[in-house]
Amino acid sequence: MRGEFLHDLLKLATAVVLLPVLARADDARGLPQHLGDTGLYVAGSLSQVSPDVLPFSPQYPLWSDGAAKRRWIWLPPGTSIDASSPDAWDFPRGTKLWKQFAHGNAIETRYIERGSDGAWRFGSYVWNADGTDAVLAPVRGIRDLPAAKAPGARYTIPSEDDCRACHEGAPVPVLGFSALQLSPDRDPLAPHAERVAGAVDLASLSKRGLLRNLPVELLARPPRIAASNPAERAALGYLHGNCGNCHNNEGPLAVLEMNLAQRVDAPEQETSHANQVLDSIIGVQSGFRPAGAPANAPRIAPGHSGDSVIALRMQSRDPLQQMPPLGTSAVDADAVALMARWIESLSKNPSSN
Amino acid sequence: MKSLKLFVFFAAVVFASFARAADPAPANADPVARGKYIVSTAGCHDCHTPLVMTPEGPRPDMSRALSGHPESFDVGQVPQLPGGWLASIANTGTAYSGPWGVSFTANLTPDRETGIGKWTARTFIDTIRTGRHLGRGREILPPMPIMVYRNFTDEDLTAIFTYLQSLPPVKNKVPEPRPPVAAPVAAGR
């Protein structure tokens, strides 16, 4: 009873105090103050998605503490994505993408758009408790918003810096909407992947004429991570979707020489691409020494998940150690189990991997 | 370990010694000269160059200039402070214990394995601007005055980085920070 009262009080505080304050604020980014004005929904509705907005579902989704997510994309009429570089699609100016996060009720809808100047803008809209409005969050984000069904009953809206930290670590700031992520050859072991009715994939996008210059071989043989067994395929896919946006060999963190991003630009070289990832982690000494880990622990110790720095950091939510470093406060137990299964399956002799 | 009060005295001594040595360099100066000027006047040495005790008191060990907390110095258990005190500082001036845990100052020399030798100017600018390691990782911990330094211009940050890259590399693997005593630890360990 007391818990319900407190929950209602927090809802009331959010609705009465926080959202009206946000709604009055001017936004230097030039983003609309209300989600209803971004074009996601038909006019006057906050539930009926516009018919020209397309749902999608990446096969290797980002872990977000168990939040249920829905994703959409909109391209300006008459435009298409230049897919000539399969790992770095060039989106037309005016492109918009949304991702809704829910723990029970919708909590926020993140939004990115490519302006007429070619620059990308990032924002997040915070839903009120009744789902009747969603208002643009401040640039600095909101820490520890009350959310009864989220882990710890708290939820953090990312700051714009947080958005850019992940989205600008890859060659293209649109994550989760790529040839590999939308491949019709979906990975059945990918943790938390969802089948969404009507979701577009590589084939349907091409059929709609929304992809141009897509190498035809990617339609004939949809992209798939080359792996020695199903667990390895899913583990590498998880690392791609959750880590590869920063840990790749093209972005600012290339200096770490750890590449977790898969490439699909040359299907005949799938094995080579996957091996590049494996070569950068298996038996390679980590630059980070987690507390309690053996000295000189490698990123991945074949056969020993407990000595593998990547696995150890995935299991931690100590802010000084955890990976990913932001956007999550709860361990992804399914992913930890998948990683352990894969690492334990690796031969303890690195030269044979 | 010394108290914060004592450290303030040390810092003043160190700062004064570098302030005397700094040659003014305008914003359009050679980046190395400009970077050296900023590093020498913005207090970088105060925390990133270890102090050694001399007959004249603690002095920066310039043979290890800007190489951060010495890996050979295990600070061991940190003292529990009485109420009214915020932080403890190791006698090298390179390790700090407070509500955030224990932080160790970074090796800013261009050693490729233990310093910032593989960094680019963008990595450096991203780190200072965001207050996150490498611009994307964990948050940079106190007492690094990110909220002050993030106001540098890109040109000044590039000059600082250019100067740091011109230093002799010092091989020194700085320990990872420690969480607060009561903080959650990694599952299963």
Interchain CB contact of A289 with B (< 8 Å): yes
Rg (CA), chain B: 17
Q: What is the pLDDT of residue A348?
A: 67
Reported as a single tens digit per residue, the pLDDT across B152-162 is 999 999 999 99
Q: Which of A252, A291, A316 sits opposite B123 (nearest CB)?
A: A252
Q: What sign results for the dihedral spanned by CA atoms A228, A232, A238, A243?
A: negative
Least confident of A110-114, B80-84, B98-102, B168-172: B80-84
Residue where the block lists tokens 């590093």: B39
In angstroms, rounded to a whole number, what is the distance separating the alpha carbons of residues A150 and A139? 22
Q: Could you tell me which chain A residue has the CA closest to the CA of B112? A: A255
The pLDDT > 70 percentage for chain A reads 91
In angstroms, rounded to a whole number, what is the distance separating the alpha carbons of residues B40 and B27? 15
Q: How far is A293 from chain B (nearest CA, A)?
A: 9
Q: Could you tell me which chain B residue has the CA closest to the CA of A162? A: B136
**Mean pLDDT to the nearest integer, A274-301:** 90
Q: Is B136's CB within 8 Å of A246's CB?
A: yes
- Give me chain B's average pLDDT, please: 87
DSSP structural state of residue A143: E
In angstroms, rounded to a whole number, what is the distance separating the alpha carbons of residues A118 and A100? 24
Reported as a single tens digit per residue, the pLDDT across B60-117 is 999 999 999 999 999 999 888 998 999 999 999 999 999 999 999 999 999 999 999 9
Q: Could you tell me which chain B residue has the CA closest to the CA of A163? A: B136
Q: Is B130's CB within 8 Å of A161's CB?
A: yes
State how far the alpha carbon of A234 is from the alpha carbons of A229, A330, A347, in Å.
9, 20, 18
pLDDT band at B22 (very low <50, low <70, confident <90, very high): low
In angstroms, rounded to a whole number, what is the distance separating the alpha carbons of residues B24 and A110? 47
Interface of B with A (CB under 8 A): 101, 113, 118-120, 122-123, 126, 129-130, 132-139, 141, 175-179, 183-189
pLDDT band at A351 (very low <50, low <70, confident <90, very high): very low
Q: What sign results for the dihedral spanned by CA atoms A82, A84, A86, A90?
A: negative
B178: which chain A residues are within 8 Å (Cβ-Cβ)? 291, 320
Q: What is the pLDDT of residue A19?
A: 52
Q: DSSP letter string over B127-167?
A: HHHHTBGGGTSSBPPTTS-HHHHTTS-HHHHHHHHHHHHTS
Q: What is the pLDDT of residue A289?
A: 83
Q: How far is B181 from chain A (nearest CA, A)?
A: 11
Interchain CB contact of A255 with B (< 8 Å): yes
pLDDT > 80? residue B27: no
Query: What is the residue range of B14's domain?
Result: 2-70+85-165
Contact B1, B90 (CB under 8 A): yes
In angstroms, rounded to a whole number, what is the distance separating the alpha carbons of residues B59 and B108? 19
Q: How far is B123 from chain A (nearest CA, A)?
A: 6
pLDDT band at B24 (very low <50, low <70, confident <90, very high): confident
DSSP structural state of residue A52: T
The interface residues of chain A toward chain B in range 307-326, judged by CB-CB distance below 8 A, are 312-313, 315-322, 325-326
Q: Indicate which of B124, B128, B130, B136 best probes the interface with A, i.e. most A CBs within 10 Å of its own CB.
A: B136
* Model ipTM value: 0.80
The H or E element spanning position B103 is strand B101-104
Confirm whether B10 is domain-assigned: yes
Distance from the first to the final alpha carbon of chain B: 29
Confirm whether B184 is domain-assigned: no
pLDDT > 80? residue B26: no
Helix and strand element counts for chain B (H, E)? 6, 6
Q: Is B186's CB within 8 Å of A318's CB?
A: yes
A317: which chain B residues are within 8 Å (Cβ-Cβ)? 184, 187
B103: which chain A residues are within 8 Å (Cβ-Cβ)? none
Reported as a single tens digit per residue, the pLDDT across A25-65 is 557 889 999 999 999 999 999 999 999 999 999 999 999 99
Domain count, chain B: 1
Q: Is A321's CB within 8 Å of B186's CB?
A: yes
pLDDT > 70? residue A352: no
pLDDT band at B28 (very low <50, low <70, confident <90, very high): confident
**Mean pLDDT to the nearest integer, B30-34:** 95
B188: which chain A residues are within 8 Å (Cβ-Cβ)? 306, 315
Name the E strands within chain A.
Answer: 54-56, 68-74, 81-82, 96-103, 105-114, 120-127, 134-136, 142-146, 154-157, 211-212
Confirm whether B187 is domain-assigned: no
Q: Could you tell me which chain A residue has the CA closest to the CA of B117? A: A255
Interchain CB contact of A166 with B (< 8 Å): yes
**Mean pLDDT to the nearest integer, A220-228:** 94
The pLDDT > 90 percentage for chain A reads 82
Interchain CB contact of A3 with B (< 8 Å): no
Q: Which of A169, A288, A318 sits opposite B136 (nearest CB)?
A: A169
B185: which chain A residues are within 8 Å (Cβ-Cβ)? 291, 316, 318
pLDDT > 80? residue A3: no
Q: Is A255's CB within 8 Å of B136's CB?
A: no
In angstroms, rounded to a whole number, what is the distance separating the alpha carbons of residues B158 and B35? 8
Work out the angle at residue A347's Cα, subtended by the Cα atoms of residues A346 and A348, and round it to the nearest 5 degrees. 115
Confirm whether B158 is domain-assigned: yes
Interchain CB contact of A11 with B (< 8 Å): no
Q: What pTM was computed for the model?
A: 0.87
Confirm whether B150 is domain-assigned: yes
Q: Is B176's CB within 8 Å of A321's CB?
A: yes
pLDDT > 60? residue B42: yes
Reported as a single tens digit per residue, the pLDDT across A65-109 is 999 999 999 999 999 999 999 999 999 999 999 999 999 999 999
In angstroms, rounded to a whole number, what is the distance separating the alpha carbons of residues B161 and B126? 12
- Give me chain A's average pLDDT, please: 91
